[in-house]
Amino acid sequence: MKKIHIIGIIIIAVATGAILTSLMDAGTYADFSTADKNPGAEYHVVGKLNKDKPHDFNPELDANKFTFFMFDNNGIEKKVILYKSKPQDFENAEQIVLIGKSKGNEFHATEILMKCPSKYNSGTPTETSAN
């Protein structure tokens, strides 16, 4: 066996390893009910903020805890505890992606991604006073 074959085998092994760990490290997008069925596992849950219910951020007490209610894409509502400070512009978020685990009646999130309505597409020109 030539050296080039040994190298080839090593490369294939490393590449396979890279693919496998990528697949293992990947979370899955899910809804709350899926997350509930498997409380230990981490999920990405996509949804919308329930604007009728209050959210609670009390930085003087704990700057790293923020509580709110979210509907997932199936309309199921759940209380969410985010272990981060309240994201700036939270109220305007069009869509929320949470990364975390289900725990009892709550969803404990460690990360939040928000999609804010970008005026990029929906922007309409407004009349401004002449200047």
Q: Coil, strand, or helix at residue 113?
A: strand
For residue 105, state whether it binds other proteins (rule: CB under 8 A): no
The contacts of residue 46 (CB under 8 Å, 6+ apart) are: 29, 72, 73, 95, 96, 97
Q: How far is the CB of 130 from other proteins (least distance, A)?
A: 5
> Which position among 44, 48, 55, 79 is part of the footprint of other proteins (CB under 8 A)?
44
Kind and range of the H or E run holding 114: strand 106-115
Query: Which whole-number Å values give the CA distances from 4 to 1, 67, 104, 115, in the listed order?
Result: 8, 57, 55, 49
**Between 10 and 75, whose beta carbon lies closer to other proteins?**
10
Whole-number Cα distances in Å, 2 to 5, 7, 10, 11: 5, 9, 13, 15
How far is Cα 127 from Cα 81, in angstroms, rounded to an integer?
A: 43
Here's the x/- map for other proteins, 108-127, by CB under 8 A: it reads as x-xx-xxxx-xxxx-xxx-x
From the list 47-55, 57-65, 68-76, the region that binds other proteins by CB under 8 A is 57-65
Name the minimum Å distance from CB 40 to other proteins. Answer: 11
Contacts to other proteins by CB under 8 A: 2-4, 7, 11, 14-15, 18-19, 21-23, 25-30, 42, 44, 57-64, 83-89, 92, 97, 99-100, 103, 108, 110-111, 113-116, 118-121, 123-125, 127-131
